[in-house]
């Protein structure tokens, strides 16, 4: 286990593109009851802030954001929520799928109409 941890730390240190980055801000507050927040920022443009609260299923609910500069020099910011419904990031940098073709909406409407009228199909797709 120690070897794996050491190898991971070594890989992170070796892969670090800006070894001269300095911590500009490091604020941490933990109330001990599941409520916490932290924020940090480095001189190379990395920034992260997170607020945590206790969740209904025993997990921590998180709301936060992080920002960094990509290899092309563009600033990328990601806002996120993580809770009972999973991790939900939002960013202009996250690729979006193309819109669905119109026939998909028509097929979904037909399927909903069949469901509401009680039509059922067997495992081979034939109407029962």
Q: List, for residues 13-48, the tens digit of each pLDDT value.
A: 444 555 788 999 999 999 889 899 999 999 999 999
* CB 76, CB 89: distance < 8 Å: no
Is the pTM higher than 0.75? The answer reads: no
- The per-residue pLDDT for range 60-100, each reduced to its tens digit, is 999 999 999 999 999 999 999 999 999 999 999 999 999 99
The distance between the two most distant Cα atoms of the chain, rounded to a whole number of Å, is 69
What secondary structure letter does DSSP report for 118?
T
92-127 residue pLDDT tens: 999 999 999 999 999 999 999 999 999 998 989 888
Q: Bridge partners of 28?
A: 38
CA 106 from centroid of its chain's CA atoms: 32
- What lies within 8 Å, CB to CB, of 79 at 6+ separation is 64, 65, 89, 90, 91
């Amino acid at each position: 286990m120690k070897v794996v941890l050491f190898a991971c730390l070594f890989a992170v240190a070796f892969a670090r593109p800006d070894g001269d980055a300095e911590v500009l801000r490091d604020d941490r507050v933990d109330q001990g009851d599941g409520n916490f927040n932290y924020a940090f920022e480095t001189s190379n443009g990395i920034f992260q802030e997170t607020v945590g609260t206790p969740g209904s299923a025993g997990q921590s609910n998180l709301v936060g954001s992080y920002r960094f500069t990509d290899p092309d020099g563009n600033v990328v910011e990601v806002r996120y929520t993580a809770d009972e419904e999973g991790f939900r990031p939002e960013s202009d940098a996250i690729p979006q799928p193309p819109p669905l073709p119109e026939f998909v909406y028509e097929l979904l409407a037909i399927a909903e109409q069949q469901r509401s009228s009680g039509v059922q199909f067997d495992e081979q797709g034939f109407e029962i």
